[in-house]
Amino acid sequence: MPNVQAIWRGVDRHLVSLGAAILVLALVLCVVAPGFASVTTLYDMALALLPLLILALGLMFVLLVAAIDLSITATVAMTSVIAASLITRNGGYLSGELGIVIAFVSFILVGALIGLANGAMAAYVRMPSFMATLGTYLLLGGAAVWYTSLHTSSSSIAGLPGAFSVVGRGSVGPFPIALLIAAAVTVLAWLLVNRTAFGRWLAAVGSGQEAARVAGVPVQFTILGAFVICGVCAGVASIILTARIETGSPVLASNMLLDVVGAAVIGGVSLYGGVGKIGGVILGVLLLTMLDVGLRLMGMSLFAVLTVKGLVIVLAAAIDGLRNRMARR
Amino acid sequence: MIKQASPLLRMSGIKKSFDGVPVLKGIDLELAFGAVKGFVGGNGSGKSTTMNILGGVLKADAGRMELAGAPYDPAGPTDARTAGISFIHQELNLFPNLSVAENLSLEDYPRIGGQMGVIDWRAVRSRAGAALRSVGLSISPDVEVSSLTPGEQQLVEIAKALTADPKLIILDEPTTSLTSREIDRLFGIVRELRSRNIGIIYISHALADVREICDEIIVLREGVVTDEGDVHSMVTDRIVAGMVGRSLEQVFPRRRAPEARDTPPRLSVKGLSKRGTAKDIGFDIAPGEILGLCGLMGSGRTEVARMVFGLDGYDSGTVAVDGIPLRPRNPREAIKRGIAFLTEDRRVEGVHLQQSIVWNIPLVRLSKEGRALAWLDPSRLAAEASEIARRTNVKAASLEALVSTLSGGNQQKVVIAKWLTLSPSILILDEPTRGIDIGAKVEIYALIAELAEQGMSVLLISSENEELLGLSDRVVVLEQGEVREVIHRADDRFTEAGLTIASSAGGSGR
């Protein structure tokens, strides 16, 4: 007979309250937002949140080691234009099926390399990750535009082959391909965090770097790894986003940075490091997306929606601050 | 000593509870004019609560206090100060960025032209000069406090207390950061104050200091006065018995002499040198042996341990386990070779405070192989953790409890448990009982002895000579980064006095 109290103790209170908030929000939106409670809206919303989910999961790894990656959306844009330049029908370097396979690999590889650079600055040069990735954010943002200008006279690299863009809208049986990709990323992330030594190292480095070092945790490797994973996630998210608009864009995801950080923090990933759960991130992404979609359906302007979202994120960060203070006592 | 009709201070039947938990169960204390009273007891004995009541910080639930015959019932610390009680805290309350003179006048600057006038700097300086002379400190009043040694700062603090013309001074752990010469100076001033009829309550863990400077000693345990008497009758054994409720022999486990020394050493350190820190340090530890490392602050005790474990680098020398040198020199290599290291700073380097007990315990083992993708079975890890936590006797409501919610002693047991998951062959302990109450201390001592018995080699670093003497087979004495000598258990100098003399500068001792 399992002990009810023990089970209750094992339940994460943050996740429970987050789930309850989502439920309440859903009920309210069903009433006040016209058209929210329709299958099409919900289906569209579920598909729309997938890139955000992948990005927030990637960022979670970096937040776990008490760092931050502000260049994550710029990484999305950079991988987008590089891959697009490879396979665009308007003078791409590669063609055919092999070209498309290489393009997929390039998303991930370029993302990983950017993560490696960020990670090296944070782990080995010991720069504050805030500063290092703010730098790469600007650098990549500029470089992506410049790189695009080398390949086209327009502002983005269009003309991607249909065999590539099917990833954005296509399905395998009843399952959208994007959903399958996001599910795979989520499962891998969960396994990495909860079922490997690396997962413990992440939390160990994030919640006490000195204690981690004494315990033999490879601190620098762990920080580097977190950034590489974050970069790879940015590459994967970029595949879906690029395929959806069938264009490599140097400003892809540029308005998503706050949403990515916000979703993670709402999901209970601590900005102080060491704390974060996959389930929380999923709920955080869901809450933020529902808020966004619901408020728009209610007819609020883009700026009003931004204001509300900003408020919710600030609130979540405040709760994070309080939780951190309690835990340190 | 001048006798007066009523004592300087009389506390009778003082009781205090926090949240219904009695902390003081009726304390009686009497202090004569011009007497120095040692006030000792373990953590949680009620020492600081008693002093806080005396200092007006807390209010007693029951009991009476009299100061020089008149009823004394302070409403706050200011009342205590005006009544003539000065409390010199362990953490000094000086502003390091201000000058000595400014610190001495901080509470009421002398002014020219009334309350709102400009500060009279000449008066500030002359007042400071007089105060410094009263404690025999020949420094300029204009130097910044941060440039003084801890001992000088302590004296400035006393000088500051004296400007209020106190009748009673409470000194809380005044010698912890002082050199032996500074301690001598402090004691000289305490004797000076005594001759001026000022009463002194001297709180300290350092029993040798207490016995040297005090006239009488009073011992507290769990909110009760367990023993009291003049310094000649209160020998160390009796004080400890009063603090712990058992005698010194029972505090430290009985140690069996380790096997003959001709077995090859488990750990051998040769020619360990680092500029400014260590010079040609060498020692061996046999299997089952406990080697003590003794020395003053700054002698390189902790630094040596950190170098051996690979946390800090060194210029030359070798550290070998079972004859094979450690390479590369990093913590993970040390861990792989079976070295466990309980660092001095438990809260920062020993545990992850914000994580649970069951999370903390397996961490070292999960890092040992350095395989990032090593598969991890949480239920098996939890089972192993709870097994080891039982062995080290961690007391907690649940193993899911955050380490930050545990007492210092239990946190330390978590650290030990964490290292035992390695089944180490060498255990380095840096101040393993610092800030831990006497009950947990006794448990940790027993555990250390048991581990040595099982064949583990232990390097024990401690600033408490009593601890080194109680556990070690040999003690290496360090001075300014060099090995001065090695004292065996059988040696005549394997005593409190012997170690103190050997470790203090120049060997002259106090």
pLDDT tens sequence across B279-289: 999 999 999 99
Task: pLDDT band for B509, please (50, 70, 90 cuts).
Answer: very low
pLDDT tens sequence across B444-459: 999 999 999 999 999 9
Do strands B457-461 and B290-294 pair parallel, antiparallel, or not at all (unpaired)? parallel
DSSP B147: G
Of A215, A320, A258, give the one whose Cα is nearest residue B340. Answer: A215
Interface subset of B 292-311, CB within 8 angstroms of A: 309, 311
Helices assigned H by DSSP within B135-276: 150-163, 180-195, 207-213, 236-244, 248-251
pLDDT tens sequence across B141-200: 888 888 888 778 888 888 888 888 899 999 988 887 777 778 888 898 899 899 999 999
Average confidence (pLDDT) over B395-402: 88
What local confidence, expressed as pLDDT, does residue A4 receive?
Answer: 59
Among the partner-chain residues A213, A221, A328, the one whose CB lies closest to the CB of B354 is A328
CA distance A23 to A29: 10
Tokens 């994120």 belong to residue: A313
Among the partner-chain residues B372, B404, B418, the one whose CB lies closest to the CB of A196 is B372
Q: What is the mean pLDDT of chain A?
A: 92
Interchain contact, A211 vs B351, CB within 8 Å: yes
Residue A5 has pLDDT above 70, yes or no: no
Q: Which long-range contacts (CB under 8 A, 24 or more apart) does A33-41 make?
A: A33/A294, A33/A295, A33/A297, A33/A298, A34/A297, A34/A298, A35/A297, A36/A293, A36/A294, A36/A297, A41/A293, A41/A297
Question: Considering chain B, what percentage of its residues have pLDDT values greater than 70?
Answer: 95
Can you give the three-state secondary structure of chain A, one letter per residue?
Answer: CCCHHHHHHHCCHHHHHHHHHHHHHHHHHHHHCCCCCCHHHHHHHHHHCHHHHHHHHHHHHHHHCCCCCCCHHHHHHHHHHHHHHHHCCCCCCCCHHHHHHHHHHHHHHHHHHHHHHHHHHHHCCCCCHHHHHHHHHHHHHHHHHHHHHHHCCCCCECCCCHHHHHHHHCEECCEEHHHHHHHHHHHHHHHHHHHEHHHHHHHHHHHCHHHHHHCCCCHHHHHHHHHHHHHHHHHHHHHHHHHHHCCECCCCCCCCHHHHHHHHHHCCCCCCCCCCCHHHHHHHHHHHHHHHHHHHHCCCCHHHHHHHHHHHHHHHHHHHHHHHHHHHC
pLDDT tens sequence across A52-109: 999 999 999 999 999 999 999 999 999 999 999 999 998 888 888 899 999 999 999 9
Query: What φ, ψ does residue A55 adopt, rounded to 5°?
Result: -65, -45
Q: Is residue B397 within 8 angstroms of chain A, CB to CB? A: no
Q: Is residue B364 within 8 angstroms of chain A, CB to CB? A: yes
Beta bridge partners of B86: B169
Average confidence (pLDDT) over B473-483: 91
What local confidence, expressed as pLDDT, does residue B508 receive?
Answer: 37
Crossing angle of helices A50-64 and A197-207, rounded to 10° = 60
pLDDT tens sequence across B87-146: 888 777 788 888 888 888 887 788 887 777 788 888 888 888 888 888 888 888 888 888
pLDDT tens sequence across B367-395: 988 899 999 999 999 999 999 999 998 88
Task: pLDDT band for B507, please (50, 70, 90 cuts).
Answer: very low
Contact list, B338 vs chain A (CB under 8 Å): none
Residues contacting B234, CB < 8 A, separation 6+: B38, B211, B216, B217, B219, B227
For B458, the token pair is: 């232990």
Among the partner-chain residues A196, A207, A222, the one whose CB lies closest to the CB of B375 is A196
What local confidence, expressed as pLDDT, does residue A182 receive?
Answer: 97
Count the residues in chain B: 510
| Shortest Cα distance, chain B CAs vs residue A245, angstroms | 36
Contact list, A207 vs chain B (CB under 8 Å): 352-355
CA distance B435 to B438: 9
Residue B303 has pLDDT above 70, yes or no: yes
Among the residue ranges A190-194, A203-207, A236-240, B107-111, the one predicted with the least confidence is B107-111
Interchain contact, B354 vs A211, CB within 8 Å: no
Contact list, B312 vs chain A (CB under 8 Å): none
- The winner for highest mean pLDDT among B258-262, B359-363, B441-445 is B359-363
What local confidence, expressed as pLDDT, does residue B43 receive?
Answer: 65
Residue A139 has pLDDT above 90, yes or no: yes
Interchain contact, B350 vs A213, CB within 8 Å: no
Q: Is residue B341 within 8 angstroms of chain A, CB to CB? A: yes
Residue B4 has pLDDT above 60, yes or no: no
pLDDT tens sequence across A283-321: 999 999 999 999 999 989 989 999 999 999 999 999 998
CB B444 within 8 A of CB B433: yes
Interchain contact, A216 vs B332, CB within 8 Å: yes
Q: What is the mean pLDDT of chain B?
A: 87
Interchain contact, A197 vs B367, CB within 8 Å: yes
Q: What is the dihedral of CA B188, B190, B195, B197, to 10 degrees?
A: 170
What local confidence, expressed as pLDDT, does residue B208 receive?
Answer: 81
Among the residue ranges A208-222, A227-241, B104-118, the one predicted with the least confidence is B104-118
Task: pLDDT band for B510, please (50, 70, 90 cuts).
Answer: very low
CB B13 within 8 A of CB B33: no
* Region of residue B39 (phi > 0: left; psi between -120 and 50: alpha; otherwise: beta): beta
Contact list, A274 vs chain B (CB under 8 Å): 352, 354-355
Residue B55 has pLDDT above 80, yes or no: yes
Residues contacting B240, CB < 8 A, separation 6+: B207, B247, B248, B251
If you write DSSP's letter for every residue of B107-128 in order, what string do you get? SS--EESSTTSEE-HHHHHHHH
CB A86 within 8 A of CB A106: yes
Contact list, A213 vs chain B (CB under 8 Å): 311, 331, 349
* Region of residue B438 (phi > 0: left; psi between -120 and 50: alpha; otherwise: beta): alpha
Q: Is residue B378 within 8 angstroms of chain A, CB to CB? A: yes
| Shortest Cα distance, chain B CAs vs residue A235, angstroms | 22
Residues contacting B252, CB < 8 A, separation 6+: B445, B449, B470, B471
What local confidence, expressed as pLDDT, does residue B1 receive?
Answer: 46
For B475, the token pair is: 């003690």
Number of A to B CB contacts under 8 A, please give it. Answer: 103
Task: pLDDT band for B263, please (50, 70, 90 cuts).
Answer: confident
In Å, what is the CA distance from B112 to each residue of B54, B99, B118?
Answer: 36, 20, 6
DSSP B189: H
| Shortest Cα distance, chain A CAs vs residue B337, angstroms | 12
What local confidence, expressed as pLDDT, does residue B65 receive?
Answer: 93
Interchain contact, B364 vs A215, CB within 8 Å: yes
**Residue B443 DSSP SS3:** helix
If you write DSSP's letter for every residue of B49-111 in order, what string do you get? HHHHHHTTSS--SEEEEEETTEE---SSHHHHHHTTEEEE-SS----TTSBHHHHHHSSS--E
What local confidence, expressed as pLDDT, does residue B258 receive?
Answer: 60
pLDDT tens sequence across B201-235: 999 877 888 889 999 999 998 889 999 999 999 88
Q: Which residue has the higher pLDDT, A208 or B47?
A: A208
Residue A3 has pLDDT above 60, yes or no: no
Among the partner-chain residues B349, B355, B370, the one whose CB lies closest to the CB of A210 is B349
Of B275, B341, B283, give the one whose Cα is nearest residue B314. Answer: B275
